[in-house]
Chain A
Amino acid sequence: MVDVVLGERRPAAPGLIVLRRAARRPAAAASAGALILLVVAALAAPIVAHLLGSEPDAVDLLGRFAPPSAAHPLGTDELGRDMLLRLLYGGRVSLAVGVSAALAAAAIGTVVGLVAGYRGGRTDAVLMRMTDGVIALPLLPLLIVLAAVDPRKLGVPAAIADAEYFSLVRLVPVIAMVGWTTVARLVRASTLSLKTRDFVLAAIAQGAGSWRVMLRHILPNLTAPILVATTLSVGAVILLESVLSFLGLGIQPPQPSWGNMLTNAQELIGTAPALAIYPGLCIFVTVIACNLLGDVLQDAFDPRRGGRLR
């Protein structure tokens, strides 16, 4: 096999070194713990619903704004729906959108960064000016327009466009379209340095085509920057999803998401402040955990930093 890397063996698996370095930071353990807890809780939502004997959409107009009780551990909202269940089901939506949009954005960013960095020259200049352009734009107003686009005018059949899950599915490409820039820049920078390395030159000398070099030889070495940038963008994407849903353009009710649970909170802030606090707290904890974890990973992957305290 040509792919055997000579003279690059390290004493321990690189992944292990990274994990060891990351584990030395308390912020990493706390963030990872919080994220795992959130994911498990979101996955367990149907079980909790069964235990409480309720549904996230079950309206109880006689039990509006109920205080916490055994039946409703976090109380009820303005329609008497169980707050805890809505938070858990909302978490499923927010986390699913966050992870899938971040992955989609990472895919776009990786292709753009790889091609720009490897091809260089005019291709690089055009792609990077495009990236700069997207970064500089006022993204939220543009996202609002993108989210307001009528899918029927794009030829999406009405049956699909009106389906309940459509508001969730459409958010992924909408957010990915503006969220790919961080990954693109990081991947380009790494590609620039990788393409002059001996193993890449050897592959080219053996007659490998440019796509083969990019995908087989350079891409596997980009795991670290892509992982870091994706972790960081999960947080950013969840923030975007929440603000779009809050403004009424993201996840459509009655499907709960942490963002749209806050839509009515402003009017009710005098009567039911708890409605405004819980969903926001969930968003905040998830995003800060992703950001801290991304930061720790960045440090751990960076051999120059050697895991020392920054």
Chain B
Amino acid sequence: MTRYIALRLLQAIVVIAVMSFVIYGLIGLMPGDPIDVMVSSNPNLTPDDARRLKALYGLDRPIHERYGAWAAAALGGDLGYSRAFGQPVLSVIGPRLLNTLQIMGLAFALSLAIALPAGVLAARYPGSLADRWINLACFAGISLPTFWLALILMLIFAVMLNLLPAGGMATVGAPLAGWAWLADRLKHLILPVATLALVNIAGYTRYLRAAMIETLGEDYIRTARAKGVPERVVLWRHALRNALLPVVTIVALEMGVLFSGALVTETMFAYPGMGKLIYDAILGNDFNLALAGLLMATLVTLIANLAADLAYAWLDPRIAYG
């Protein structure tokens, strides 16, 4: 087990190292560079000045040297300054990451709360009317463009019914405290979380249904039923526990999808999270911030994957660790 964990950790480190180089290279291919940005905002700089500045900051050196310098600093905890915020990148990312984890966590919990019963119900009676409706709803869910779903929810609940705020994280300038403050925050979370959850519910339900149908065909389920175990116990204890195993892996793999969804949702609802931060940083030529944000997003997904792998090994005693 220790060996297995060590191997997986090593793998994750390799992936993050490769990704950091790829992302570093891609960011370098985006239009302009930091000195171009500086020149465009200062008419007193001559092309000679720009060349000297580029040499001073090492922008004329080959990419692997620049990457090496950046990586060495990054390993020491120095990810540079954000141009747009005028602050160290890490202190910009910190609070945003928490906001995103909040929205992702809530959406994830909501997705599971709906997908579990829906998947079990569909698998209990395959081909039934309920199953067919759930199946169709799932297809609708995975086919919905997230940003359009956000638009439609906004149109219905914010514009037409005027029930919920169309964006932001809290009512601006409202002197709220205690429960009123919490209620205000929650009201702002409803639409983004619902948007993010709806797309995921569909995927999770489909995986769970497929896994449940397979599990329900196993011999031990027949044995349990023959022994007279109540159907409720067979479904929720005997079958679901085993059906959840493959689902755990897929759900963890989908963390990247969840994050992509969060990017769209945050941008649509002007919610100050990581996704919106990365999007704004890329469009605004905030190179350090974009780089660090993308890496942080990758790291979060990798950690989720790693956790799922370990959970899988822990949940399923049949797995031998190589």
Contacts and interface: CB of A to CB of B under 8 A. Distances in A.
Interface of A: 27, 129, 132-133, 135-142, 144-146, 148-150, 153-154, 235, 239, 242-243, 246-248, 259, 262, 265-266, 269-270, 273, 276-277, 279-280, 283-284, 287-288, 291-292, 295, 308-310
A145 B26 contact: yes
B242 interface: no
B256 interface: yes
B282 A276 contact: no
Contacts of B18: 133
A137 B279 contact: no
Contacts, number: 138
Nearest to B252: A136
Interface stretch (B64-72, B176-184, B262-270, B312-320): B262-270
Interface stretch (B75-83, B113-121, B149-157, B232-240): B149-157
Question: 9 tightest A-B contacts by CB?
Answer: A140-B260, A280-B148, A288-B143, A287-B143, A138-B259, A150-B31, A149-B29, A138-B256, A138-B297
A197 to B, nearest CB: 25
Q: Which of B27, B148, B263, B278 has its CB near the most chain A CB atoms (within 10 A)?
A: B148
Task: Give the interface SS of chain B, mostly helix, strand, loop or mixed.
Answer: helix
Contact of A283 (B23, B148, B253): B148
Given A136-B256, A144-B279, A247-B267, A269 B30 contact: no
A136 B152 contact: no
Contact of A138 (B15, B143, B298): B298
B298 A137 contact: yes
Task: Give the interface SS of chain A, mostly helix, strand, loop or mixed.
Answer: helix
B20 interface: no
B302 interface: yes
A69 to B, nearest CB: 23
Contacts of A270: 159
Interface of B: 11, 15, 18-19, 23, 26-32, 126-127, 132, 135-136, 139-140, 142-148, 151-152, 154-155, 159, 253, 255-257, 259-261, 263-264, 267-268, 275, 278-279, 282-283, 290, 293-294, 297-298, 301-302, 305
A243 B262 CA distance: 13
Given A243-B146, A269-B151, A291-B142, A140 B26 contact: no
A243 B159 CA distance: 23
B154 A269 contact: yes
A139 B142 contact: no
B253 A243 contact: no
A276 B155 contact: yes
B279 A247 contact: yes
A136 B290 contact: no
B19 A153 contact: no
A1 B11 CA distance: 47
